[in-house]
């Protein structure tokens, strides 16, 4: 028999260049942030974590890259749930989302509600149409911030996700590994640019602006399999958290296995 689900938490189902999906849940209901792996795999990983009873009420899309949207169409049609996305993202995915049950347009800086959560989209900086991250708050006040696929932490992001209980923050690459690695120069420059991805060092520096006494869990996300190692991301972010005196656990989201973080 499946054990009862924790009241509030986040399940990082997949994170990396081959697919991303994150489930924020409270009291038996949840929202999925991105669905870049197959709908079947999303549901399998949710069940595997013991959260199979969670009712997913919406998918929130950060941007249109395939590793964030590959399973959106099938999952939303199967569950009969809406997609929330910016106008730019929805436009870039016009054909892919043409027959989903509902598309709800969101705007950075303007909060909205699902049945269970208050959600604030905020601008990120990536080489796509209109990317956002999300700050999510449960009805009992637990706050989660997800900031991934961004070359810099925008002022809007810092304002939106400061003071969270749990922070999912991109730590995509180690600068030395990227520089020494096999990627062509144009791709290295793209990754390191202000519209690329946060490095371990940038993620660590971000904690100076995002850390608070309330922060209990930091999850390094979107770790590159070519240009980073989980231990390097954890070491960089963890050292900064300790230097700032943050009483927060530091974890790494994985590509091939889910991790669940409870919020108490």
Tell me if 19 is assigned to some domain: yes
Tell me if 58 is assigned to some domain: yes
Tell me if 104 is assigned to some domain: yes
Sheet strands side by side (includes 112-113): 112-113, 117-123, 132-138, 143-147, 166-170, 217-221, 249-252
- DSSP state for residue 32 in the 8-state scheme: E
pLDDT digits (tens, 9 = 90+) for 90-144: 999 999 999 999 999 999 999 999 999 999 999 999 999 999 999 999 999 999 9
Q: Are 96 and 83 in contact (CB under 8 A)?
A: no
239 confidence band (pLDDT: 50, 70, 90)? very high
Tell me if 247 is assigned to some domain: yes
The pLDDT of 186-192, averaged and rounded, is 97
Tell me if 1 is assigned to some domain: no
pLDDT of residue 224: 97
What's the rounded Cα separation, in Å, for the pair 242 and 247? Answer: 8
What is the tally of structural domains in the chain?
1
pLDDT digits (tens, 9 = 90+) for 40-96: 999 999 999 999 999 999 999 999 999 999 999 999 999 999 999 999 999 999 999
Tell me if 60 is assigned to some domain: yes
Tell me if 3 is assigned to some domain: no
- pTM of the full predicted structure? 0.95
What's the rounded Cα separation, in Å, for the pair 38 and 36? Answer: 7
**The domain containing residue 114 runs over which residues?**
8-262
The CATH number of residue 58's host domain is 3.60.15.10
* Torsion sign across C-alpha atoms 238, 242, 245, 247: positive
228 confidence band (pLDDT: 50, 70, 90)? very high
pLDDT of residue 7: 84
Residue 211 dihedral angles phi and psi, to the nearest 5°:
-70, 150
pLDDT of residue 139: 92
pLDDT of residue 1: 40
Q: Are 15 and 33 in contact (CB under 8 A)?
A: no
Tell me if 203 is assigned to some domain: yes
């Amino acid at each position: 028999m499946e054990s009862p689900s924790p009241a509030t938490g986040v399940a990082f189902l997949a994170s990396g260049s081959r697919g991303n999906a994150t489930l924020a849940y409270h009291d038996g209901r949840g929202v999925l942030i991105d669905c870049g792996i197959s709908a079947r795999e999303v549901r399998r990983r949710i069940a595997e974590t013991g959260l199979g009873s969670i009712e997913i009420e919406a998918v929130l899309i950060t941007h249109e890259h395939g590793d964030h949207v590959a399973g959106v169409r099938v999952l939303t049609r199967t569950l009969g749930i809406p997609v929330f996305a910016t106008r730019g993202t929805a436009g870039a995915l016009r054909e892919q989302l043409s027959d989903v049950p509902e598309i709800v347009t969101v705007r950075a800086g303007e909060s909205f509600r699902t049945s269970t959560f208050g959600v604030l989209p905020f601008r990120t900086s990536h080489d796509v149409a209109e990317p956002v991250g999300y700050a999510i708050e449960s009805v009992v006040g637990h706050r989660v911030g997800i900031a991934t696929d961004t070359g810099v932490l925008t002022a809007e992001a810092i304002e939106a996700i400061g003071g969270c209980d749990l922070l999912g923050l991109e730590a995509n690459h180690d600068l030395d590994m990227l520089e020494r690695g096999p990627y062509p120069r144009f791709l290295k420059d793209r990754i390191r640019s202000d519209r690329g991805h946060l490095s371990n060092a940038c993620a660590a520096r971000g904690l100076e602006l995002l850390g608070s006494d309330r922060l209990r869990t930091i999850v390094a996300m979107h770790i590159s399999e070519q240009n980073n190692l989980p231990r390097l991301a954890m070491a960089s972010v963890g050292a900064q958290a300790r230097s700032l005196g943050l009483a927060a656990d530091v974890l790494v989201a994985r590509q091939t296995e889910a991790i669940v973080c409870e919020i108490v």
